[in-house]
Amino acid sequence: MSEAKSAEDTVWVPLDSLRVGEDGINFIGRIISLRQSLDRKGRPYFYGFVGDGNTSIPYVAFREMPFKVGDVIEVRGARVEEWDEEVRVAIPTRAEVRRSERVDVAYPKVFEEEKMAKIGEIKSGDEELTLEAVVLDMERSQVTVRGRKRDLLKGVLGDETGKVHFTSWRLTGLELGGSYRIKGVYVKSYRGRMEVIIDEWSTIEPLESEKRIKLPKSYLRNIASIKKGGGGLDVEIEGFISYVSPRSGFSLSCPECERKLKDGICAIHGEVKGFYNLRVWVRVTDNTSTIEVLIPRVVAQKLLNLDSGELLKVLTESPGEVGREEFLKIIRKKLAALPVRVVGDVIYREKRPAMIVAKSIQPIKWAEIKGSLPTLDDFLGGAT
Ligand SMILES: [Zn+2]
């Protein structure tokens, strides 16, 4: 029988005494996290953390791991390696991995302390979070992963502090409008869009009716907190326009996606008949910081109160750079130092500060700006 090796024969090495370079070792541990990824050749592998009563360490497994978070596993024939300056156990294809009935393997501390998170504070790279949130929007979608179509859910989650996009690989358990406690999610950003990922190993529990999430009327935040992270949908800021960028103006854009054309070519849609799209770039400053705000055409037209005749006049009477200069003059006059309330979505950019794409901008009175305004020194020191 292959089960011949009895437990007594096996030497189980505690996780805190593993040494880099050891091979063929046996250990018992509880799975703290379990994720799947693909190697360079497109083959799946698994990784995460395992823990025993004393410590937790990263592992990587080059074999199927038909287990779930919380399971205790017995691994025979693992290797200990150094990875990213840490000790990691590698579970090769030939290793033997079994679910263990042992209950004396304690969860390490890190797992006991559940990481409750608020959507207004999460940031890309956060892992193993627990959120309590309401599903504000949800639809079924499909992606192709390695030639295979997979169904998933896409939508928006909200709590008292913010709203964020989500993708769920679990197709059941969530309903539009429902409030849930969602455990074991992680956060990533794709093309500046922050997203909460609910995967096969996450758990979803409906909240009791008295714990249902109540959303605020708006997500008013200060600019410094927005730059730190947090679900960035429909955030609201109050400040004044401290800079109008000369990048503002009209440019030939793709009618499909509104991307700026290069020599009549859209990066996505190829050769298209462009239209003159208006975009205004400004910076908005409050008493905590300054952020770049992109004002798309529809919002800009309303804010600038430009009727199309006025726009057309600028464009046709003085095309090219002259038109741009004229236009800048007009908008600077209207926008410079204007106190505003901006509602929009935050774009988190790599290596550059976050920015906001405005959905609405409303002029307000100086007195309406919450909190104290920056002094001239703050402004000169921090705005540009
Ligand atoms: Zn396009």
Distance from the CA of 270 to the center of ligand 1, in angstroms? Answer: 7
H helical segments located in the chain: 109-112, 223-228, 297-304, 308-317, 320-335, 376-382
85, 91, 97, 101: CA torsion to nearest 10: 0
Within 10 Å of residue 138's Cβ, how many Cβ atoms? 18
Distance from the CA of 255 to the center of ligand 1, in angstroms? Answer: 7
For residues 49 and 61, the answer to whether their CB atoms sit within 8 Å is no
For residues 196 and 184, the answer to whether their CB atoms sit within 8 Å is no
Superfamily in which the 114-216 domain is placed by CATH: Nucleic acid-binding proteins (2.40.50.140)
CATH architecture of 220-382: Beta Barrel (2.40)
Distance from the CA of 359 to the center of ligand 1, in angstroms? Answer: 21
91, containing H or E segment = strand 86-91
Q: pLDDT digit string (tens) for 266-285?
A: 988 999 998 888 889 999 99
Arithmetic mean of pLDDT over the chain: 86
Same fold, 114-216 and 220-382: yes
What's the Cα-to-Cα distance from 188 to each of 92, 121, 185, 195, rounded to whole Å? 29, 13, 10, 5
Distance from the CA of 245 to the center of ligand 1, in angstroms? Answer: 24
Q: pLDDT digit string (tens) for 310-359?
A: 666 666 665 566 667 888 888 899 999 999 999 999 999 878 899 999 99
Amino acid at 322: V
Cα–Cα–Cα angle for 383, 329, 317, nearest 5°? 150
Distance from the CA of 299 to the center of ligand 1, in angstroms? Answer: 20
Distance from the CA of 32 to the center of ligand 1, in angstroms? Answer: 44
Distance from the CA of 264 to the center of ligand 1, in angstroms? Answer: 11
CATH topology of domain 2-110: OB fold (Dihydrolipoamide Acetyltransferase, E2P) (2.40.50)
302-306 average pLDDT score = 84
Distance from the CA of 275 to the center of ligand 1, in angstroms? Answer: 11
Q: Taking the domains of the chain in order of start, what are their residue ranges?
A: 2-110, 114-216, 220-382
For residues 269 and 257, the answer to whether their CB atoms sit within 8 Å is yes
